[in-house]
A = this chain, B = another copy of it.
Amino acid sequence: MEKIESKQFSAGTKLPSENELANRYGVTRMTARAALSKLEERGYIYSKQGKGRFLKEESMQIQLHLTGKVSFTEKMEQAGYDLETRLISCEKVGFEEKVYKLLNCEPIDHVYKVSRIRIIDGQPMAIHNSFVSEKMFPDIEKERADISSMFAYYRKHGHTEFASSKTMLGISFPTSKEQQLLHCQSMVPLIIVENDCINAATGEVLEHTRILYRSDKFKYDITM
């Protein structure tokens, strides 16, 4: 059934039709169709009614050192990539226990989610969510338009030395909104990396960050 994916063709190649696959492997057309749909949902192929199914070009993979101290921006610019960071949204979020607890907030406090998208060489690669409390940054609503770099924003507010907390990694699938932003299919796994940014001098938690990486766009280096 899914030995189909082991056959490696070059990009743009036309795949055998549903009927041909069904005959060749002695299954019904529905079974072949299901297998092909899976490949489509994973983002390996695309289909055109009346024409057929075609292999997408395999996208480049960028090496990314996940555990490093340097910021994403610096990493990418050092490696010579054309990185654009675009602000998507900056709005209050509903109560979420984990985030509120980390930011030392009560349920009545307001927490903002600053959502930015990372675009490399024209391709959206990751969504960077920063959770900050109104308590810590009361003017965030007014200043939202100016936020280009979170670190620059924190320095402007007098925080100079930064540290990071425990870093956790998990996997999930994109919501329909995230699919649009990242230009990906529903079955492309996302790697979610979460940690906190702390003022090293005072120990205050400045933000909780939740970064969603397209798992197929990077090779992740987690060397200590």
Contacts and interface: CB of A to CB of B under 8 A. Distances in A.
Contacts of A223: 67, 165-167, 195
Nearest to A41: B38
A169 B69 CA distance: 18
B42 A169 contact: no
A149 to B, nearest CB: 22
Given A67-B67, A187-B187, A189-B215, A169 B220 contact: yes
Contacts of A109: none
B216 A171 contact: yes
Indicate the member of A1, A186, A221, A224 with the most B CB atoms within 10 Å: A224
A2 interface: yes
A168 interface: yes
B219 A170 contact: yes
Contact of A176 (B2, B38, B170, B187): B2
A36 interface: no
Interface string A52-75: 000000000000001101000000
Interface in A187-224: 187, 189, 191, 193, 195, 215-216, 219-224
A176 B38 CA distance: 14
A59 B181 CA distance: 30
A224 B221 contact: no
A137 interface: no
27 contacts: A2-B175, A42-B173, A66-B169, A66-B222, A67-B67, A67-B222, A69-B224, A166-B221, A166-B223, A167-B224, A168-B220, A168-B221, A168-B222, A169-B220, A169-B221, A170-B215, A171-B171, A171-B189, A171-B215, A171-B216, A187-B187, A189-B189, A189-B215, A193-B222, A195-B223, A222-B222, A224-B224
